[in-house]
Each structure stands twice: as structure tokens, then as C-alpha cells.
Structure 1
Amino acid sequence: MIDSRYRRFAPARVVEHADGSVDAYAAEGGFVLRLSAREYAITRLFDGRRDAAARVEAARESGWNAAMIEGLAADLATHRLLQAGTHEPLPPPAHNDDERIGLGWTGLEPTLAGVPPWNLPPSSLPGSRVSPGLTGGLTGLVTGRRGQANQIDRPLAPDPFVALGRLLIWPLRSRAHLAAFLALCGLAIALVIHHRHEWWQMSAGLFGSYRAIATAAIAAALVNLLSMSTRAAAIARYTPSTPRLGLVYGILGIPRLFVDTAGVAERAGRTERVRIVGAGLVGTAAAASIAVLLWFLFIGSQVSIARFCVGLTIVTTIALALRLNPLMRYDGYFLLCQWLDTPDLREQAIGALLGVRRRPWFVRARRIPYRALLAFGLAVLAFLLVLLVALLWGVGGWLAERFHGTGFLALLSVMGVYMVRQYSRAAVDRSSMGRLKKPWRPTRRQKIAALIVAIVCVLPYPYSASGEFEILPRDRADVRALVAGDVREVLVKEGDVVSAGQVVARLDDAAQRARLAAAEAELARLDAELAIVRKGAREEEIEVARSKVETAKAAAELAERSAARVASAFRAKSVTPQEYERAQGAAEVARQQLLEAERALALIESPALEERIQSLEAQKRRIQAELEFARQELAYAEIKAPIAGRIVSPALQFARGQYLNRGDLLAVIEDTAELYADIRIPESSIGQVAIDADASLKPWAFPHTSFDGRVRAIAPVADDDAYGKVIRVQVVVQDPGGKLRTGMTGNAKVDAGWSLTLIVFTRAIARLLFVELWSWIP
């Protein structure tokens, strides 16, 4: 903390001259300021006890006004001869003569001995704790420029917010209180993990409805209220000042509560500054923990309140994660800056990336190792790059999909406005080294670099259309069961090479053989019956036919009883399905034989008629067709390969004993004598692809190997893809080493000829101009 509560003139030594003027030497930095006798008399009014009103009243008799006193104070502060108190900040010195004249500080031009004027840091330089310059706030700027306090659009009375924040700042009192607070947060996390199923159910009920938007808006407002109230309470507790807070209007005029941390809070000690910055994080974490506890209390009674608490927890957790990130200019970054006692950590990191190892005006500020600054700068740049890509890829892609080029240009416009506003806040009239800014003119190195870029742009460059690919075989066929049955024998395995027509597996053919035998028997009976009808029968033949009927009847009754016993045992799961089918087949054959015997007897006993002969011949033709079908089904019991190739299905390994219905898949055969790659090329690049063009493929399995190919065919239609239309291009792939396998994927490039480098790398911009923007012209 600074010793005095008000401004105090504190030179290291004073040297008087014969004309009454004095040279005041600063304790640090080698600064010397020459003061006239009249000015030196006024500097004695900066004694650390008088405030601004008392100094003006005391200097009025000497003809000094408030502007002249402030101008002298600015010169003293610039030369490190004035100390700031906790109740009265140091004045920011003028950046240039125009500001000095505009403020009325005329007639008080300082003389700086030994140090050129351009070595002085600007008043708004962050981190210059030995100079009068301040950042304008501990937690960033909302409006205005660096070194100036934030502007609040609508000031509010701080007392209600301070009273609310005092209920939440107890974790900042000591490390023990902070540990207890972290334990409370851990308890909330444990409750969510223990009841995660109920949590996920209520979370899923929030998405996809207007309830989610309303919950998010209320939760964001509540988080803003608690975090800012906690920060206001921290300022009121740890500084001798009343916090300044109110509403500021952001994008689209949406108001939010803001607490100004400029002035007294900036000049507080490091511990107090860390507490003030961390108060907002404590308030946000407290809101999340309270929401979890309330959810646990109301989960069984008030479902609507519990669901709102879930939404509040989600919003506060996301806000806390974003604000804790030290790579973004939020509370996490400012907390790290205050903990390191280096408010301009990011500026130093950027300077380290540019090769600046230190800055000459850092005297008492903590110095960060150059490697640490370099690592932090690289981390910030990487994070910003990832954030930019995610923004353009996610939000920009969604806007382009919904609103085409208009949505993407709107996103770029918003980003441009935001960057301009950020730059305007940080802009000063001097550079980071204190020099006055001059108009930019290209240097010799920049001209040489521009010439090299121009030469590169007109060099020829091989353009290639790229897309994802999948390896396909020359031919592929499914091996399926053409009849139902159990797999009795598997003759091949995965990886075997088979020829067309080779038997792959055999099914149980008992039923097919039974039907074939029945059809043959029926055909023989019809032949005999037809012969009998045509020539007639003797009495002995009639007796033999009657004897056959009796025998067939007895056999049929025996087969029926046996089939009934087997069926009863099958229902009790005492016999196998095969035994049951055999018994039913035997009974069916016995019944058929009885029917044939009865028909033969009737035929023998009946007289020969022409109509009877025609009927038997018709039955004979039907039985012949059934016989051919039964023979075909018996042949289908042997499953054969439809094409020559390699077995690529692992299903054969455990196929024995499985029951297959008609049409069930048993195996897959691929002819891999020649491999093809099916490349999906975007429609925007297909115009440069032609038949017989060279192609190069890199599968994910072999990232260091490139496979050559040649375009064989281009699909006549475009297919839908996740990111637009694509056209399939089929390429014959050369794989002499046999490394590729069907189904492999990767990325491929198809040669589209040579073009200028500038044209190749601006092709997307050209499409935007000549297609998208052209469509907007009425």
C-alpha cells in the first residue's frame, strides 16, 4: 500500500540554483525535473495531508487555478516525484502538446535532464506500477480507452448489491474459508455424480424447447447479479472506498450489471487485488453450488424448480469454465495477472514472441522469465487460432448453411466490428515503447517480402481435387441359403479363394430327399395306374391290389402312431428337431403309399375310360414338375459360390449347426483381382476432373505411403453429403504389394492440371464472387 492517503511530493534530493529554481531528482529511473521558485512553492502543497480542494484554496493567493495545479501534478508524476494516495489518484500526464493545451496546462513546460522525452512510458501503459499510468480496471475495459475509468451508462446505488455480496464473500477471508468453500463445491459435484441419472433426464428435458432459452436468460442474469454483487462487496471490504457500479448496455442494447475496478482498487495491495478479481469467480461458483443443493432438495417435490436449478447449474458451470480460462481476457486471466503482479501479462507475452526480452520502464514490477512469457504467448495464439477456427467452422458453417453467403458475411462483419472496438479501447497516441506513432511506410525488408509473395503467386502450381475415398473390390457377391435347413458341413473358411460353382457348405437334406422319393413313387404309381387303365386287370391282379391296400393301411397306422409319439416327445424337448422331421416325413410317405394303393385298386376295378386316361396323364405331368422341383431343392442343399473370389465373411467360423431360412446370408465373396477407390469429390471441384486423370491415395492405415491410380468413371449424378453435394469418382488403384483391404478409407487427390498459384489458392474466393454474390444481383 502507498503510505499517504493523498498526493505527496517525494523527491530523493533537491538542488537549488542562484535564480531560485531547483532541480528535483527522483529516487528511481534517473529523472530530473527543473522547477521555478514559483512552481517549487506550489509543490510544497503536495504534503500528503491536503486534498485537491485544500490545495486550490491555498494556491489561489498565488494566482494558481485547478488546471494549473493538475498540470504541475502531471509533470511531477511523469518524473516519478509524486506519490499517489489511496483517496486521490495520480493524474494521467498529457500524451502530446494538443492535450496539454486543451487541458489548460500552458506555461508549465518541464525540462527533463539526461533522459530523452520519448523514453517516457505512456500514462495508460499496463503494469507500469512506478509510473502514474493505470490500466483503467482490474478486470478489463467495458467502454473508453486504456488508462481511463470505465463509463457506466446507468449508475445504481451500491448498498443493496454490497449487502447481497457480503453473504457470498466469506470464502475470501482466509485459506481455511476458501478450503471450506471448495469442499462445498465438491459436495455439490458428488451429489450430481451420485444422482446422475435423474440429472441427465432433467437436462435432456431442457433442450429443444423455449424453456431452455428462458432458463438460460434468467440464469445468465442471476449469474451476472451474484458475481458483480460479490465483487462490489469485496471492493467495499478491502478498500477504503465505495464501489461504483451500474448498468452498461452491450450488444443489441442488452443491459448487464458492471462494477468498476479502476482507481482505488488498482492501487490496492496484491492480496486485495487478487481477492477483488477472484470475488466474481467465487460468486459464480457459489451460484452453481446453491443451484445443485436446491435441485437436490426439490427433486422429489417441485419438478419445475428442480429443472430450473439444473439449467442454472449448466449455465453457471459454462460461465465459470469460460471465466477461469487464463488464455481469454476474463477473470482467470486477470486473476493470474494480479497474482503475478503483472497486469499486462499478455502484452509482455506478445513482446516475447516479437523478441522483446524486457521493457526499460519496469522497475518494481515482478519480472516473468522470458521462456515463461514465450510459452504463454504461444498458448494464447494457439487458443485464439482454435477459437477462430471453431467460430468460422461452427457458427459460420451453420450461418452459411441457413443463409448462404449472407450469413457468413454477417458473421465476418460482427467479428470486424468487435475487433475494431477492442482496438479502439486499447489505442493510445504512443507506441508500446513510448514513442509517438508515425505514419506507416514499408521498409526494405517488407518490400522484398512483398516481391517474393508476388513472384510466388504467378508460379505454376499443380491443382488437385481432393476428397474422401473407400476401397472397393472389382466384384462382390453374397452367398445365401436357397432352401431352409441346418448347416451340416462347412467346406471353406475366411480368406480362402474359391472358384465359381464350388461347394461352400452343405445343409441337412433329409426333407428334400423325402419329398424327392415321394414324388418319384407317385410318378411310378401313376405310370402303373395308367398302364392298368389302358389294358384292364385280371381277378388275380385285383386281389393283389387289395392285399397292397391292407398292407399300406397297416403301415400308415403304424407310422401315424410313431409320429404321434415323436411329436409328444418333441413337445417335451426329448428328441431333436431332425428326429421329429424324419418321423413326420415317414408318416407322410406311409399315407401317400396308402393313397396310391387305394387308387391302384380303384383303377384296377374300374373300367377303362378315355377321360380317366386323360386325368392320369395330367396328374403325371404335375408330379413330374414336382419331381424336378424336388431335385432342384436337393441340389440347393449344397450352397455354392456364385463367383470366383476370396471369402471375406467371418460368419463361416461358427456356421456349423445354425439353422438358415431361405435367403439368409452365409458368407460374402469378393473378387479382389483388381481394386477400385470410390472418391467423393465436392461438386465445386469436379469441373477439373476428367477420365484417365492420375490420382494419388493416402489411406489412414498407411499415412506414409501413397498409392497411384487412374480415373475409370465419373458418376452421372450428385449425391448428398453432410457438407453439400459430392460426385463419386471411381479410380483403378495400383497395389503391387497387396497392402490395401476393401473398406479402407482415407483421402485422395485427383490431378486437375497446372494453374497459377494465386488462382489455385483463391479458387474458393472466386467461387464466392462469381456464384454466390452473382446470385444476389437483381
Structure 2
Amino acid sequence: MSDQTKLVALPAYLPRRLQAFRIVRGDKTSYVLRDKLADKTYDVEQWQFFVLEVLPGCETAEKLLSVFADRFGREISEHEVMTFFAQLADQKLLDEEAAKHPLLKPFTRQGYALEQGLVKPKSFEELAVKMASQGPKPGAAPAAAPAPGPTPGAPDELPEDAVLPAGVNEADSLDPRQTRQLFKFFPMQPLASRLLPILEPVKYAIYLLPLVALVALILALRNFDTLWSDVNSLRSATTLAVHALFSLVTINLAVVLTQSLVAQKFRASLGDFGIGLRFGFFPRFMVPIRHTMQLSRRERMWMHAGPLLTRVLLFSIGVLLWYNARGRYEGLANIGLGLTFLCAVNLLVEGGNPLVKGNGYHLLAAFVDEPQLRGKAYRAFLDRVRGGASTERGQMLLTTFALASFVYAYLVVLLIVYVSGHFLIKEMRLGGAALIVVVALGVFLAMRTTNRFKMITRAYERSQQFERWRKRALPSETADAAQAEAPKSRTWYYMKRALVVTFILLLFLPYPYDAGGDFEIFPAARQVITTDIGGVVEEVNYDGGESVAKGMVIARVASTDLTAQLQTFDARIAAQKAVVAELKSKPRKEEVAVAQSDLDIARQRAQFSGERVPRLERMYKERTISFEELDSARKEAEVDRREVTSREASLALVKAGTPPDRIAAEEATLQSLVQQRAEIEGRAGRTVMAMPFDGTILSLHLKDRLNSVLDKGAPFATVEAVGSMTVEIEVPESEIGYVKVGASVRVRPNAFNDRTFVGKVDRIDGNVTVKPTGRIVKVIAVVDNHYGELKSGMTGYAKVDAGTMPVWQAFSQAVVRFVNVQVWSWLP
């Protein structure tokens, strides 16, 4: 829109002290009369200025009306013309020459009236009514005053740069220019008029609100941990849509109803109750409120203080309801918790925050009676930054307010970017594409916020210019020609194209692509040190937390009984070994010689006894001896022969040695004793608890267990290896194709966010794990941990080397995957 102001000729019958200016704003034209002596300005519409210009040639009202109809293509009533003349006369804008014109002459004679004993000038409005020869004709345009104000409720009639009163300007539901599309339900005016007499006595309860709010705040602060825990539980169990719906039917409905009743009390007009979209997507109940120009500063303040007090009341009710119903009435407790949380967020983030265009800001603007508070503050801040002298009063306060608004706005942008990035990268697992989206969103929001600040500043400057036009700040008589705009530099033109070309070239540069995911650290080896021998702990060499080499004794359980058993078995084994050795040493030479000697003796004895029998038989035949002697000799000879046989067998047995089965039996007995001793020795060895590998003792205060009884199988300490750690990486299913065994891995734990540990992929899980965030495949990597800094259970983010690819391919994986899979599935 272009604005042009030009000095034009002053119409007849107006004082010469006036100057006339034509103002062209887009397709609208208006005029301003400037009184150089009185330092005042008067707004005149186009048709009114035309009447003044043609008035010297129109002596009668009929001719004037005819000329007007020819010029504007519509009719105007004599009543409107006379009313216009009366207003000129009341403002002393007719000179002495006006008495010579038939239509203006009656308006040059001032009448007077007596009121309460005082003589006062009469208004020319009554004269205009008497002089009107006819009423308004059908189709005639409505009358307009020389300085018409904007008509409340008609946003099309308000100039874009017009400034409404503080508390109304730019306020939702109050400023007609902020009107949104509403889905209307019913007229609010009749309902408010019926509810106001019923609910008006409730306003006296406001004196109790500070006490109730203070009690609620104290309860919330004293039970903050419990309150926050319940809020987190409620948030995890409730969706965002449910929160929005609950806020709509509680807080928003109560606020709209309160504001409507306050507006009804102050004689403003209420539109239809309906539902519209806040920020383009958030449903909110709304009631347009019109005819707010008539409201006083105090009433405008109450238009915004009422909704704020309603939110404070709902917050207090929510805290009290939650505190008293918790643990008994779960439903009521959740309702109170929801009211508490949503009201607190609404008061801190939007409604009660003076840095946001809400009730808090408009209340502050109405309090200081500054409609353009933000624009004025931004202007003062810019003047301060540029080093110029600001013309605004309270520059320091305005600058501080503007700086706080800037910081808050960009903090909100950072918060939105962080939440979006966390959702897209951590939960949606979009990888590089998510990074592009987050960066683009951040740049867009930052530019949008910056442009918003610039628009507010420009709007303030335009409004100030508009007010200057209305308040005498018009160009001088010599400013007839418009100033030529300075030629624009083409540097930015070429810079934009260079940036585009550079960006395209960057897309084809090689980019090291990484497949990443969250990880958790596990030890490469972990053991629980224990023993199956119960007893008294008689020795503890470490207290816990130390790094211990493999084989070092950590603790020892008393083994006196086992030592005694070992000594007993040692004696038995020695005896049995002697038996086996004796058996294995046979036949010995001495035993063979003895057996041979015994055999020789037996043979000689058998020979002697055998030779004796024939002699005795002869003697018996000769009856020299008795039969008994012969029989005895025979028996003795037989015994001696058998003795020879026995001695021969003994000699053969001695020469044969010990039988192998006998030796085997004795060796088996010896082996049994050895095994029993080994079992006892093993049990005695297990009373010594040693470090199984190079690592760290995780358990602490081990020396406190000295001389205590350790039960059989009870754990004594936990140890883990520290040379390397196993990292379990959750790689998204969509990126597992880029992961290979042996690929380089870089991990960055949360505990050491400024350091990177390297390792290699050891193996890839053959199963796909389903998690709430999506499908993942576990990749096991081994990471060096020479200094023992990595601890079991640590988490963080890991990157697996997936090779090199162009930048455009690396950051468009999600899009390419969608086309190759989802779009392909749609094709026949």
C-alpha cells in the first residue's frame, strides 16, 4: 500500500489560516484541514471536501444535491449536507464570506440559550434539522462527521494502521481486525444478560481469592515432589488430544464465559458463541466482543483481569481438589491435577505472561495506557542498540521489556526445535533427514519470529505516522513531490544466486554416513566371586573398587578341617603305595632261593622215606617189625612225596611273582585314595577366592566382612573385566543394511559427552526387536577401555561407520526409503 500526502487548494468559505491536504492511502482518499494558528487538524471525507469545492457554484440545495449525484453516482439527503454545515459552524470553520452564501448564511449567526442561569452558545445541530426540507432519501449514504471515528464491530471500516485503545488494540475477541472464522453455536448476548444478574454477586468472592490462591500455592510447593510425580504419571497415561479437550471444556470455557459477563456488565456488544482455531490448528471457544471503544481504562483492564483471575481460581481449585481427593477418589484427584497443570502452564506460558500477546500483556498495556506497548518497546530497544537517542519516555523499562520479549521468543523457538528434534531423531529414527527438518524448522521459526518483531515495529511506526497525520504532523507546503527511492543494491541479488549454486555443489560432496542409535554398555566379562565351602572369612585383601590383576587372592575362608583331612589321606596313600610297590617287586631272588631250598629238602626227605619203605617191608616179611611200623613208614613216605609236589608248586608260584589282578586291585585302591584326596584338596583350594581376570572389584566395603561367616554359595563380591567393554547398540531396522561386522564404531556416553571411544562391530543380532519407538536390530561392538572409564550400564549414542556417499543421498535416506518401499507398494 502506498501513502501520498499533497497540499491542495483551500475551498471557499473556509478561514485563510487553514491548509488543505489530500491523503491517498491505497484506493481510499481523504482530506485533512490544518489550522496553523490553533495547531489543530480536522479530518474531512472525500464527499465533504467535494461539497465545499462546488459550493460557490451551487446557490440552492437542489442544485448541490444534483451535482453530488452526478459526481458520485449516488444520492445524498439535504439533512446530511446541513448536518455537515452545522458541524463546520460548531468548530468555527466558516469565514466571514460564508454569510454571503444562501446555504451557509443561517450558520453564521450564533444563537444562545439560558441553562441554569448561565448563557451558553447553542449548537447548530438543531438549526440543521429545521433547515432540512426533506428526510434521507432511499439509498442515501449515511452521514459522517468531519472527524469520524472508526465504527466498532466493522473491521472493514477500520484503517489498517488505526490504533485502538490500550487493552483493545490487537486483543483477541476485542479488536475487530483480529476476528477469526468461527463455527457459531448460538447468540451469546441473551445468555449473558440472563446469567449476569444471577452471577454478579459472586464478584464479591474475589476478596477471598488471594487467601485461597496462597493456600493452594503453599500446598503445591510443600508437596511439589508428589505433585510432579503425579503430573508425570498423568501425562504418560493421557494423550495430547485429551489434554486439549479437557482444557477446552474447563479453562477456555470458564475464561470465555467470564470475559463475556464482564463485557455485558460494561455495556459492550457480544457476538455469537462459537469455536475457532488458535494458531491455525488449536480449537478454542470464542465470543466476539464489539463496541469496546466506549470502555474506560478501568473497564478495559477488567476485561483482561477477569480471565486471569478465573485461571488463578481454577488453579487453586485444582490444587485443593487434588490434595484432598488423592488416594481416595482417583477420578477427582486426576481432574484436580489436570486443572492444576493446565492452568499453571496457561498462566506461565500464555495467558498470564506479559511477554506474550495474551491477557497478561493486554492488562499491562491497559494499565500503562499504551496501545502499542510492544512496538514502542521494540522501537526504544532498536534506538538503544543503534546508539541513537530515544524519544520514548521510560526508555530503560521499555528496552528491558523488549529484551525480555526477544529472549523469551527465541527460547520458545529453541524449545520447539529441541522437542521436534528429540521426537524425530530419538523416537522416529529419521536420521539425517530429521536433522534437515529440524534445522529447517529452526531457521523458519527464527526468521518468522524476527520478521514478526520487524512487523510489530513497522506497524508501530505506521501507527505513529498515522497519528501524526491526524495530529498536525503534515508535510510542509514545499513537500509536493514524492521523494525518489534510493536505487536498490544488486549485491544481495548475486549473493542469493551464489548461495544457491554453492548449496547445489555441496550436495554432491562425499559425506561419511553413519548408522547410529542409542547404546548401553555391558562388561566383556563379569563374575560373582563365591565359594561352595561355607565357613569363617579369615582373610580379606581388598576393600572393593580396586583394579586387581588376574590370580590375586581377594579373600580366604578358613579350611582347618580340610587341611587335617588332607594329611590323613596323604598317610593312607603312602601306605597303599608301599603295598603296590611290594607287589610289583615279586619274585625276589631270596624268595626263589628259599623256595628252591625247601624243595630240595623235601625231595631228600621224600627220597629217604621212599627208600626206607622197601627195607621195612622186607623186615615185616621177616617179621622183624610190626605192621604198624610199616604202615607208618609208608604214610610218611607218601607225605614226603606230596610235600615235594607242594614245594615244587610253591617254587613255581614264587617264580611267577604277584598276579596282575592283585596288583590292579591294589592300584585301584590307591587311585581311590588319590581321588578322595584331590576332592578334599579342591575344596580346600576353593576356600581361596581369587581374581579370575584383570579387572575391577565392583563390590565395596569387603573388609567389613572379615571374621564373618560366609554361607555356602553366598556371593562375596562382583568383579568385571576392564580391558574392553561390550556395547549393545540399537540400530534402526532401516539402517541395519549399512552395518557390517568389523566396521568401526564411535560411541559417546552421556557421562563423557566431550569424549569419543572407538571400537569395532563384533556381531549383529539375528532377530529384530520391537520397541515403542520402532523396530531395531541390536549390534554388539567391543570398545577399548584401557583406563577403566567406561562403566557397566552407561548409556549414550553410538555411530557405526557405513561408508561414504554424496551429501544429498545421506540426508535423503528417509525420503528415498519411502519412495522405494511405500510408493512401490502402491504401484501395480
Q: TM-score, normalised by structure 1?
A: 0.59
Shift of residue 343, structure 1, vs aligned partner: 4.8
Whether 2:498 is the aligned partner of 1:451: answer yes
Equivalent residue number for residue 228 of structure 1 = 256
Counterpart Cα distance in 2 of 1:384 and 1:715: 40
Counterpart Cα distance in 2 of 1:328 and 1:499: 63
Equivalent residue number for residue 295 of structure 2 = 268
Whether 2:131 is the aligned partner of 1:82: answer no
Counterpart Cα distance in 2 of 1:40 and 1:502: 114
Cα pair 1:461 1:760 within 8 Å, conserved: no
Shift of residue 338, structure 1, vs aligned partner: 3.6
Equivalent residue number for residue 310 of structure 2 = 283
Cα pair 2:761 2:782 within 8 Å, conserved: yes
Residue of structure 1 aligned with 2:196, choices 162, 177, 195? 162
Unaligned runs of 5+ residues in structure 1 are 1-13, 95-121, 436-440, 531-612
Equivalent residue number for residue 380 of structure 1 = 409
Whether 2:268 is the aligned partner of 1:259: answer no
Shift of residue 489, structure 1, vs aligned partner: 0.5
Change in Cα spacing, 1:259 to 1:477, as seen in structure 2 (3 Å) is same
* Mapping of residues 749-768 of structure 1, within 5 Å: 749-768=799-818
Change in Cα spacing, 1:760 to 1:350, as seen in structure 2 (3 Å) is farther
- SS state at 2:719 partner: strand
Counterpart Cα distance in 1 of 2:493 and 2:790: 51
Q: TM-score, normalised by structure 2?
A: 0.56
Shift of residue 473, structure 1, vs aligned partner: 6.5
Residue of structure 2 aligned with 1:25, choices 34, 57, 64? 34
Equivalent residue number for residue 657 of structure 1 = 707
Shift of residue 306, structure 1, vs aligned partner: 7.0
Q: Which stretch of structure 1 is more off in the superposition, 651-660 or 309-318? A: 309-318
- SS state at 2:141 partner: helix
Change in Cα spacing, 1:150 to 1:483, as seen in structure 2 (3 Å) is same
Unaligned runs of 5+ residues in structure 2 are 1-7, 21-32, 56-79, 92-121, 466-487, 581-662
Equivalent residue number for residue 723 of structure 1 = 773
Counterpart Cα distance in 2 of 1:640 and 1:253: 67
Equivalent residue number for residue 123 of structure 1 = 159
Counterpart Cα distance in 2 of 1:529 and 1:229: 112
Q: Deviations over 1:205-251 (max 9, x none)?
A: 988999999999678534444333322332234x3445445343669
Change in Cα spacing, 1:311 to 1:498, as seen in structure 2 (3 Å) is closer
Shift of residue 276, structure 1, vs aligned partner: 0.8
Paired amino acid for 1:248? I
Shift of residue 277, structure 1, vs aligned partner: 0.9
Cα pair 1:648 1:669 within 8 Å, conserved: yes
Shift of residue 529, structure 1, vs aligned partner: 14
Residue of structure 2 aligned with 1:183, choices 177, 188, 211? 211
* Mapping of residues 397-416 of structure 1, within 5 Å: none
Equivalent residue number for residue 536 of structure 2 = 486
Residue of structure 2 aligned with 1:69, choices 142, 153, 162? 142
Paired amino acid for 1:43? F
* Mapping of residues 342-361 of structure 1, within 5 Å: 342-343=370-371
Counterpart Cα distance in 1 of 2:732 and 2:328: 55
Change in Cα spacing, 1:168 to 1:623, as seen in structure 2 (3 Å) is farther
Shift of residue 633, structure 1, vs aligned partner: 0.6
Cα pair 2:376 2:460 within 8 Å, conserved: no
Shift of residue 452, structure 1, vs aligned partner: 1.1
Cα pair 1:127 1:365 within 8 Å, conserved: no
Whether 2:684 is the aligned partner of 1:634: answer yes
Counterpart Cα distance in 1 of 2:376 and 2:826: 46
Count of residue correspondences:
604
Alpha-carbon RMSD: 6.1
Shift of residue 376, structure 1, vs aligned partner: 0.9
Equivalent residue number for residue 711 of structure 1 = 760
Equivalent residue number for residue 116 of structure 1 = none
- SS state at 1:456 partner: helix
Change in Cα spacing, 1:492 to 1:67, as seen in structure 2 (3 Å) is farther
Shift of residue 19, structure 1, vs aligned partner: 6.8
Shift of residue 741, structure 1, vs aligned partner: 3.9
Change in Cα spacing, 1:309 to 1:638, as seen in structure 2 (3 Å) is closer
Counterpart Cα distance in 2 of 1:445 and 1:222: 52
Counterpart Cα distance in 2 of 1:55 and 1:619: 145
Shift of residue 694, structure 1, vs aligned partner: 5.2
Equivalent residue number for residue 546 of structure 1 = none
Cα pair 1:246 1:257 within 8 Å, conserved: yes
Change in Cα spacing, 1:448 to 1:203, as seen in structure 2 (3 Å) is closer
Paired amino acid for 1:229? L
Change in Cα spacing, 1:292 to 1:487, as seen in structure 2 (3 Å) is same
Counterpart Cα distance in 2 of 1:614 and 1:451: 99
Paired amino acid for 1:275? W
Shift of residue 641, structure 1, vs aligned partner: 2.6
Change in Cα spacing, 1:619 to 1:449, as seen in structure 2 (3 Å) is same
Q: Deviations over 1:539-577 (max 9, x none)?
A: xxxxxxxxxxxxxxxxxxxxxxxxxxxxxxxxxxxxxxx
Q: Deviations over 1:351-378 (max 9, x none)?
A: 89999999xxx99999873564244134
Shift of residue 383, structure 1, vs aligned partner: 1.0
Percent of residue pairs bearing the same amino acid type: 21
Change in Cα spacing, 1:685 to 1:244, as seen in structure 2 (3 Å) is same
Counterpart Cα distance in 2 of 1:697 and 1:514: 55
- SS state at 1:69 partner: coil
Change in Cα spacing, 1:66 to 1:313, as seen in structure 2 (3 Å) is farther
Change in Cα spacing, 1:742 to 1:756, as seen in structure 2 (3 Å) is same
Cα pair 2:533 2:683 within 8 Å, conserved: yes
Larger Rg belongs to: 2
Cα pair 2:315 2:339 within 8 Å, conserved: yes
Paired amino acid for 1:161? L
- SS state at 1:324 partner: coil
Paired amino acid for 2:505? V
Shift of residue 279, structure 1, vs aligned partner: 0.5
Equivalent residue number for residue 332 of structure 1 = 360
Cα pair 1:137 1:263 within 8 Å, conserved: no
Shift of residue 655, structure 1, vs aligned partner: 3.9
Counterpart Cα distance in 2 of 1:482 and 1:506: 12
- SS state at 1:650 partner: coil
* Mapping of residues 2-17 of structure 1, within 5 Å: 17=11
Change in Cα spacing, 1:166 to 1:376, as seen in structure 2 (3 Å) is same
- SS state at 1:483 partner: coil
Cα pair 1:168 1:282 within 8 Å, conserved: no
Equivalent residue number for residue 43 of structure 1 = 84
Change in Cα spacing, 1:492 to 1:338, as seen in structure 2 (3 Å) is same
Equivalent residue number for residue 572 of structure 1 = none
Counterpart Cα distance in 2 of 1:469 and 1:290: 45
Q: Deviations over 1:321-376 (max 9, x none)?
A: 55334455543344344445455666778889999999xxx999998735642441
Equivalent residue number for residue 626 of structure 2 = none
Equivalent residue number for residue 668 of structure 1 = 719
Cα pair 2:153 2:290 within 8 Å, conserved: no
Paired amino acid for 2:313? A
Paired amino acid for 2:262? A
Cα pair 1:155 1:246 within 8 Å, conserved: yes
Paired amino acid for 2:405? F
Paired amino acid for 2:295? A
